[in-house]
Structure 1
């Protein structure tokens, strides 16, 4: 078996590139599959759990907590939390509810399979060698089905900007609404510190004080370097420590 058997996992890991545990587990799974190692059963189970964690953290807030409260949450606990986060239980269609229920049972079976056949099984006797490859295949395919199901539901869900891991582009409709109705102005206080003032509909103002350098650094590194080089040309006084290691050369874009 290879990762070609896991299109759902590969797609989810590609989407959540900034989730280190997910990427590390995908690498571990690939290695175990290449070696025909039973540890791929543990990797498959962990992949489902980590995907559930990523989803839950994307929707969890102090006012609407979603994380499991158990001291050591099980795979089922995390899956239940992910289902709540995605509001899959709110869908009234009975066939869809049965589908969600089947995925719960699939996750439970995967966990049982891991406990009985995985290398980290809790002291239980291993399965017969001639059945090992079938157990590995069952675990990986089951995990991939669950991950694909959850990832698709996540992409269809309405995310919360305050806690989402998604990039700005993911909120296209929200962005368009803000851009159409919110203005922007700049003010400078008595100390010369600039302040962005977002002009909200109705006359309210949302102030945001931030250094120009910080804003450029966070939004556009090339613009930051260009501004730095332009500032150097008009600077007549060298500030001690402004240029580490005495480097006077212009930075490359």
Structure 2
């Protein structure tokens, strides 16, 4: 077996490249698949759990808490939380509900298979008899079916820009709307922190005071370094005369 058996997992791990635990598990899964090692069952289960965690954390807020509070939540618990985060339970179509239910059953079956047979699971020793090839295949395909289902629903969901960890590109439609209707002006007085004034279509403004260095650091590190190098070679600004003190006689 190889990672080609699970395109859904490969695609999800490629999308969430900034999730370190997911990337580590994906690498372990790929290695164990190539070696036909039963530990791929553990990896498959963990991939599903981590993907569910990523989805839940993307929608969790203090006003609408979604993170699990159980000490040792099951894989089915995580899947339930992810489905709740994506609001898939709100869909009234009976056929779609059956699809969601089938993924719950897949999660339970994968968890049971992992707990019973995975040589690395729950501290079990690797002396257990190796599983047949079709058992490993079943675990990987079940995991891939679940993972392929969740990211697609995630991409279709409406995220909250305030709490989301997604990059700016994820909100392309919203970005285009803002760019088309909101203007920008800059007030920069000597010695004062520049003020960015965002001009709303209603005539109101959103003023934001921000240091030039902070703006460069947040937006473009290369530009920050270039500006820093240029500033190092610039002459020092003339000292201001302190009020109440004249020039020396």
Please give the range of the TM-score, normalised by the shorter of the 2 chains: 0.7 to 0.9
What is the alpha-carbon root mean square deviation over aligned residues?
A: 2.2
- Counterpart for residue 212 of structure 2: 212
Matched, 1:44 2:51: no
Contact 2:120 2:126 in 1 (8 A): no
- Counterpart for residue 143 of structure 2: 143
Separation of aligned partners in 2, 1:179 and 1:6: 39
- Counterpart for residue 161 of structure 1: 161
Contact 1:117 1:126 in 2 (8 A): no
Contact 1:57 1:163 in 2 (8 A): no
Contact 1:75 1:107 in 2 (8 A): yes
- Counterpart for residue 245 of structure 2: none
After superposition, residues 160-199 of structure 1 pair within 5 angstroms as: 160-188=160-188, 191-199=191-199
Separation of aligned partners in 1, 2:95 and 2:81: 21
**TM-superposed deviation, 1:210:** 1.9
- Counterpart for residue 81 of structure 2: 81
- Counterpart for residue 30 of structure 2: 30
Classify 1:232/1:121 alpha carbon distance in 2 versus 1 (closer, same or farther; 3 Å).
closer
**TM-superposed deviation, 1:197:** 2.5
Which structure would you say has the larger Rg? 2
Classify 1:124/1:76 alpha carbon distance in 2 versus 1 (closer, same or farther; 3 Å).
farther
Separation of aligned partners in 2, 1:141 and 1:94: 25
Structure 1 SS opposite 2:185: strand
TM-score by length of 2: 0.87
Unaligned runs of 5+ in 2: 238-249
Separation of aligned partners in 2, 1:154 and 1:204: 34
Contact 2:32 2:39 in 1 (8 A): yes
TM-score by length of 1: 0.85
Separation of aligned partners in 2, 1:128 and 1:217: 55
Separation of aligned partners in 2, 1:202 and 1:195: 20
